[in-house]
Each structure stands twice: as structure tokens, then as C-alpha cells.
Amino acid sequence: MQLGVIGLGRMGGNIVRRLLRGGHQCIVFDQQTERIRTLAEEGATGGADLEDVVARLKKPRAVWVMLPAGEVTEHMVTQLGALMESGDIIIDGGNSFFKDDIRRAQALRKKGIRYLDVGTSGGIWGLERGYCMMIGGDDDAVDQLDPIFDVLAPGAGDIPRTPGREGGDPRAERGYIHCGPSGAGHFVKMIHNGIEYGLMQAYAEGFDILRNAASEALPKEQRYSLNLPDVAEVWRRGSVIGSWLLDLTAMAFAEDPELSRYSGFVQDSGEGRWTVMAAIEEAVPAEVLSAALYARFRSREQHSFAEKLLSAMRNKFGGHVEPKNDD
């Protein structure tokens, strides 16, 4: 099957590679021509520009956009919408806001162009592990591209079937689902990433407590100098909190037990904020997910104004004095 792919970064490039391995044909384009050349050497067909990519695809055409959410994706979908025709499909495999998907699908539908939002999880490991995909859009477009999704997905692998799932959608067991109409795929992926924030924060706080168990502020008999790489490793084996995130944590500790290469400045890519916004709109309490997002904001400041005010209030009500800075 043919597929155009726009955006050949870490995920886009590996999506192309996995599709090539699965026997599909990819017509590719990126603003960085070196990326096009690299994938052309691996079997893809490079496009000179968007017009060339569209011209090389057989009708009905399908183009997968793998770009950062926001204006760059908006502009690309608009450009493709002007070049493509009724019956064609545009796929946004990035992390766009689901309300943008609804609007784009409605606009493209006027031309007969179908639009799929595909929340794609797998990161830089997707080439080997496969990609977990959450798809939104019309049934016919999803069915038409099933051979693409099937190759990109991890497959059932050796994960045991969940008891009671007999008769359910088999695609879920292979690593992809059709979540619903336009926007549903990115909505589910948005919540997925919000949960990811919470899980990561829980691990980070837990290991921070373990690390500080050796603090001299504690009674001597309560101090523990714990081997964090070993703790992470043993938790991977039979523990109820085992996960792929813990696997990656163990890898990070094995490489650098003190995490000295990291500053602790943690970005957020938007989905965490949108998750909290959705919770507010639905009046759903989301204490953990909200706190995890705010912790990322906090990581970007050494001392915030709020902390200065807290210190001032402690001084006024209790005479508490800030510790002197040894510097």
C-alpha cells in the first residue's frame, strides 16, 4: 500500500522505516533534505515538495502528517487540503488538540477529503516495539488504512489475552483501536499523556524520597543509603508497580546513578494542560494529573514568587528564618 509521510523526525522517520519493512511504499518529504536522502537510501521515495508527494501517490491518496502540534501542523493540513481531492485521506499522527481535529475534519469534508486523527504512542522505540495507536474519524477511512495500522502496531506479541475479552475488537489486542468520530483519537491520546505525567511524577517523587533517606536531618538509626539502580531493577521483577516507564527509569539509573546529566528542567508538550482543561469542562476531579502538570511548571524555576511569599508568611506567623546560603 502507498502512503505519503510528511515530517521525518524521530517518530516520522521510524514510522516510514517500519512501513517499509512491512512491504508498504512510502513517498516522503521533510524540510530537511538530508532526512529525505537517508530514507530514500533505505527504500522510500523522496518528494521534491508537497505537490510532488501528492502527484506521486495513486488515488485515492493518503498522507500521514507527523509534525509538532500547533501552527506547523495547521499550515500543513491546510496546504494538503488544497492539493488533495475527494476520496483522499489526511492523517494527523501528532499530538494535536482534539477540538482542532473536529474543526479540520469539518472543513475538509466539504471537499470530500477524509481526515483521521491518530494518537501515536511509542516514541523513539516504536521502530522495534511498534506503535500504540488511538484513531478518530470515519469508519471507511479507518478500514481503508487498516493494512497501514496493522504494520505499525506492536501486534499481540506474548501478552496474555485479558480474561473476558473474547468477542471484543481484535484490533485492540494488536495495539490499535478506532476510538470514534473525529477528535476521539487525539482525545484518548491526550488523556493517555495526562496519565503519563501522573505516573512519571509518582516514580520521580518516590525515588526522591528513597534518595533522601540518607539525609543527615534524620535520626542516625533511620538513615538508609539505598542503591537506587538496584531498587529500580528489583521493582521491575514481579512488583505490582512494574511498567515500561520503570524499565526506562532503571536504564537511566544504570547509565548514570546520580542523573548528573540532567538539570531537572521538565517541559510539557501541551497534552497535560489539555487533560486538565477537559477535566474542568467535565467537572471531573483530577488531583493527581493536575499536580503532576504543576510540578513540571515548578521544575523550571529555582525559587518562585509563591515560595518567597510562603517563606515570608512563615517568618511573620512563627518567626521562621530561612537557612543561610552557604554560597
Identify whether 189 is a catalytic site residue: yes
The C-alpha atoms of residue 253 and residue 235 are separated, in whole angstroms, by 13
Write down the catalytic residue from 74, 173, 196, 233.
196
Write down the catalytic residue from 189, 233, 281, 324.
189
Report the DSSP beta bridge partners of residue 299: none
The C-alpha atoms of residue 107 and residue 81 are separated, in whole angstroms, by 9
The C-alpha atoms of residue 73 and residue 95 are separated, in whole angstroms, by 10
The grid coordinates of residue 90 equal 489526511
Judge whether 20 and 1 are in contact, CB under 8 Å.
no
Identify whether 205 is a catalytic site residue: no
The C-alpha atoms of residue 154 and residue 149 are separated, in whole angstroms, by 10
The C-alpha atoms of residue 149 and residue 192 are separated, in whole angstroms, by 19
- Angle 146-190-184 from CA coordinates, rounded to 5°: 45
- Catalytic residue annotation: 189, 196
